[in-house]
Structure 1
Amino acid sequence: MRLDEMTAVPDAALPVAAFRDHLRLGSGFGADGLQDALLAGHLRAAIAVIEGRIGKVLIGRRFRLVLEGWRGGEAQALPVAPVSALVEVALVDAAGLRTVLAAGMFRLVSDAHRPKLAARSGGLPLVPVSGSVEVVFDAGFGAWAAVPADLVQAVMLLAAEFYEARIDDGTRGPGLPVMVQSLIERWRIVRVLGGGEA
């Protein structure tokens, strides 16, 4: 299994101004945007860490899931949530020839933690021998304004931690700060089937 991010979050979509306010950085000195690239980098890093921990996409973007075979005969769990749309399903044979399947063959089973691609009737199509299947979908809460408040706060706190630790004296321990852990706890996925079908 491989998950590719097909579209990146543009700098304009990042809450740089809100992060600057969170840090209480001074303004009015004629160089207010001087640290914007640094702040954006810390925000991107914090978003990536939070998304990796909870399996949720914060700012909406497009992904491609590449599989060598389905995990289930009638449905395939998608690795991130929330998923807003299925864009394309294609079979790729051993020679690399792509065949895009009719959109009407599939439906999205919405779920807060484990959305699925499901066959509308019967089972999922057979994956070619030595080939793969590609599922393209849109995921994320949407724009930054649509991200739940507890996740917004977790990102701000973690990005601030990264900002403060840019000159590390070695006294910080590994792992997420306790406050960030408590904010993201309810969003974490409990995996009880060892990565199985569900």
Structure 2
Amino acid sequence: MLLVEETAPAQGALPVAALKAYLRMGTGFEPVADATEDAALAGFLRAAIATVEARTGKVLLTRVFRLRLEDWRDPAGQALPLAPALSVQSVEMTDRGGAVTPVPPAAWRLVPDSQRPILAPTGASLPAVPMGGSVTVRFEAGFGTTWDSVPGDLAQAVLMLAARYYEDRGFDGGQNIALPHGVSALIERWRAVRTLAGRGGRP
């Protein structure tokens, strides 16, 4: 299984101003009004967003992902690894020789779910994956394209974590620190046991 993020959150969607305000309140931070400082804060925000998304399986800002599998975990319905899934853009089969064949949209449908969206067949099962080949699913997931669309507790968790990264920026490997308790508490209800398996499958 290979999951690739094809698009990144837009720079303008990142809550840089909110992080500046949070840092002023929490640490006495006085920002320098220049593009370099904003770029640095955006980097801490991207790192915090990635951490929260990895812990919860929820995509905060909408973007496109590519999932490649050597075979379906369950041809009766393939679970997607991220939520909320908004749409499936394409499904393609690649044979052993590298030839790519699109799967007609009439053969599959997205079953939305806040925890475990499913790529389901319109018939009895999803099309068979070629022996020695793979299947690639491109899908769009996320709460929305603007920061206002992110649930409040997840948004607050990102600000808290980005501030922690900022404070620990001089520490070697600072972004690998354990999650602060407050961040863990905020994201706990969004955490889910994630699996790419189908019915009865295991992570």
Q: Structure 2: which 5+ residue stretches go unaligned?
A: none
Counterpart in 2 of 1:42? 44
CA distance in 1, matches of 2:66, 2:56: 19
CA distance in 2, matches of 1:110, 1:43: 28
Counterpart in 1 of 2:164? 161
1:87-127 C-alpha deviation (Å, 9 max, x unpaired): 00011001111111111211111111110100011111110
CA distance in 2, matches of 1:34, 1:125: 50
1:65-103 C-alpha deviation (Å, 9 max, x unpaired): 000000112100001100000100011001111111111
Three-state SS of the structure 2 residue aligned to 1:183 is: helix
Change (3 A) 1:121 1:12: same
Change (3 A) 1:11 1:115: same
Counterpart in 1 of 2:138? 136
| Residues matched between the structures, number | 192
Select the residue among 160, 172, 183 that pairs with 1:180: 183
1:1-198 to 2 correspondences below 5 Å: 1-24=1-24, 25-26=29-30, 31-143=33-145, 144-168=147-171, 174-190=177-193, 196-198=197-199
Q: Structure 1: which 5+ residue stretches go unaligned?
A: none
1:161-189 C-alpha deviation (Å, 9 max, x unpaired): 0001112399xx94100000000000001
CA distance in 2, matches of 1:183, 1:103: 38
Query: Kindly, what percent of the aligned residue pairs are identical?
Result: 51
CA distance in 1, matches of 2:109, 2:189: 27
Q: TM-score, normalised by structure 1?
A: 0.91
Superposed displacement of residue 34, structure 1:
4.0
Q: TM-score, normalised by structure 2?
A: 0.89
CA distance in 2, matches of 1:57, 1:169: 28
CA distance in 2, matches of 1:88, 1:183: 34
RMSD: 1.9
CA distance in 1, matches of 2:34, 2:23: 13
Q: Which has the higher helix share?
A: 2
